[in-house]
Chains A and B, each alone.
Chain A
Amino acid sequence: METLINIKQLRAWYTKDKTVLKGLDISLEKNSVIGLIGLNGAGKTTLMNVICGLHEGFDIQSADMNGKKIKFSDDSFRMSRYIVFSEDDSFGYFTFDEYVEYVFSCYDKKTDKALIDDLVEKFGFGEYRSTFIKDLSLGSKRKAYLITGFALRPELLLLDEPVNGLDFTSTEALYKLISEYKQYGTVMFSSHILESVTLTSDKVLVLENGVISKTYSGDEITAETIRASLGNEEEGQNV
């Protein structure tokens, strides 16, 4: 598979004596689904934040996208990716429809009403479209941002713990959308839910001690192998 993004020797820190990512190499293939797992504090969110240009304390040997050098904070790179945060209280005074319209305008894109309506239906979000985002529950807020991300169809869609707060039906819809996203681009998502990774991912990256300690792909992606890699043998327990 062709490589979309290639990052070499990424180190990230909060303070000089607290390095979270310690020379991490990561390669994301085009049109694929990549699951990112690791115990709490492993650095999953930090990695996402670095890629989004939010985290300032980092250095890197090289980062390229489609073979060209990139800077994470450049607008040209921003145009090709979108992130759904695990917690987000931004733009609370927009309704969902206004928020989508606004985000699309930032990406210089026109909204696809049919696609958005379809996503809204899949997530059972119809009745909340005209509610201010600040007044939505945690789960509904998550749905609003996920719908925006999937409707935008960026080359790289980053989802930080997207399953948290979602109801059963929406979780199933999310798994399906993640799996099908391959036709539009690449999804990288972090999760503590084993099922979310095993059901959707082409590749699973295990983040441990600040580096990608293991990579699984194809038939290797099973609950047993991943659980074993994290030293957690308890059936059904979150990773």
Chain B
Amino acid sequence: MYKLLSRKLLGKNYSSAVKGIIIAAIVGGSLSNVFENKITVAQSVIILTALVSNAIMMWKLLSSSDNAKCLKGLFAMPYDEKKTLWGYAAATGLYTLTMRTSYLIALFIALSKFTAEGAVLFLLSFIYSVFGTLTAFANRAKKPYIGALIAAAGVIMAFILPKGMTAAAVLAAADIAVMVIFNMQKTRAFMVTPGSFQKKSEHHSKPNALLPKYIFRHLLSNKGNLISIVVILFFSCFMSVNFEKMGFKAGCAIGMMIISMNTPLATIVSSNKDLKKKLDTLPNKTKRFFVPYGSVLFGYYIVTYAIFITAFSLATGDLNIKTILAGILFAAESAVIISLLEDKLTITKWNTEADLIRHPRKYILPLIVLTEGLLIFML
């Protein structure tokens, strides 16, 4: 199981994993040179970042349709229950570590005073996140409260643990506890059956309304997409408020950058190779697809930024016209840039849907938003 999965997720001879680590090192090294004044990151930020970021990545990976197909094939063969369970955890965990967490570690090292103690806490939180997410996923249908309890315990630990080795000891104990619970899960619980639902009415939409409808259905088809949006929104608020409290003037820009970094709407064409093929054969694709697509993206970002700005203002007590204008500007830019990227720079070379999330293309928009945000909020 591990060999088969790791080959698919991490490439032949771990080639994709090595590539992921090298890119992370390059990104970290480059940023390290740019940001000379390292900031101090609170322990709660380190723990919460490791927990939330890995949980999103893991959940997306576990619920992706290509993973479902892969598991369906694997379960058709005879397998050892425990070996398969732990093999699955090792392959998915290693994938998350090399393809996603490596970037986070690189960012922490580049931007902050990341100590050995911080690294230990980060690693322990990562382990908790991996096994916690796997356990939550296995119980998503029958016992969803288990996932909620694991998540709640993680968040509580992030906020109440005292600094230093005590936190590490408690996290290590939590890791062991979550691993014991994970060991009780059945491998078959990770099987994903793509949901199917039919449109009951025969109501005909106007052509211009068809594509927005299509995009919303695509978005709502996977609960993970909605969870991801909510978590990112929460995370962006948390990070921006904390940066502001640490005296960083452009905390708002950090939050807006996080929002622009990851949305399931940004890869709607890339995630479906046949859709890309079909669009390339249809006439008027700009008018009939990419313009309505951009409009939906604009609407999405306007709503998301509005929620973010409201939450940020409530937390910091600061609201000015500059922030609102920046939100509108970034929403418009995001819509245009993502539409252009999906049309002209479609990601077609991917093995798993999760590869889309870590593709370097995703950093283009956040980089633009961050640069502009820093200029707007710091000058």
A residues in contact (CB < 8 Å) with B: 52-54, 73, 75, 78-79, 82-83, 85, 87-95, 97-98, 101-108, 129-132, 134-135
Across-interface contacts of A131 in B (CB, < 8 A): 198-199
Across-interface contacts of A103 in B (CB, < 8 A): 282
Are A85 and B277 also in contact (CB < 8 A) when A106-B282, A107-B283 are?
yes
Can you list 12 pairs linking A and B with CB atoms under 8 Å apart?
A52-B280, A54-B280, A75-B283, A78-B282, A93-B217, A98-B214, A102-B211, A103-B282, A130-B200, A131-B199, A134-B196, A135-B196
Q: What distance in Å separates the Cβ of A114 from its nearest Cβ neighbour in chain B?
A: 15
Q: In this assembly, does B247 line the interface, its C-beta being within 8 Å of a C-beta of chain A?
A: no
Are A93 and B221 also in contact (CB < 8 A) when A75-B284, A105-B210, A105-B288 are?
yes
CA A135 – CA B194 in complex, angstroms? 9
| A108 closest partner in B (C-beta) | B284
Q: In this assembly, does B36 line the interface, its C-beta being within 8 Å of a C-beta of chain A?
A: no
Q: What distance in Å separates the Cβ of B288 from its nearest Cβ neighbour in chain A?
A: 5
The interface bits of chain B over 212-226 (1 if a CB of A lies within 8 angstroms of the residue's CB, else 0) are: 011001100100000
Across-interface contacts of A52 in B (CB, < 8 A): 280-281
Contact among B196, B210, B280, B285 for A94, CB-based, below 8 A:
B210
The interface bits of chain B over 268-293 (1 if a CB of A lies within 8 angstroms of the residue's CB, else 0) are: 00001011011111111100100000
The interface bits of chain B over 21-65 (1 if a CB of A lies within 8 angstroms of the residue's CB, else 0) are: 000000000000000000000000000000000000000000000
CA A107 – CA B280 in complex, angstroms? 13
Q: What's the tally of chain B residues with a CB closer than 8 Å to chain A? A: 31
Across-interface contacts of A97 in B (CB, < 8 A): 202, 204
Q: In this assembly, does B166 line the interface, its C-beta being within 8 Å of a C-beta of chain A?
A: no
Are A135 and B198 also in contact (CB < 8 A) when A102-B288, A105-B288, A106-B282 are?
yes
CA A93 – CA B275 in complex, angstroms? 11
Across-interface contacts of A101 in B (CB, < 8 A): 204-205, 207, 210
Across-interface contacts of A92 in B (CB, < 8 A): 272
Interface centre among B202, B213, B214 (most CB of A within 10 A): B214
Q: What distance in Å separates the Cβ of B144 from its nearest Cβ neighbour in chain A?
A: 25
Across-interface contacts of A102 in B (CB, < 8 A): 207, 210-211, 214, 288
B207 touches A105 (CB 8 A): yes
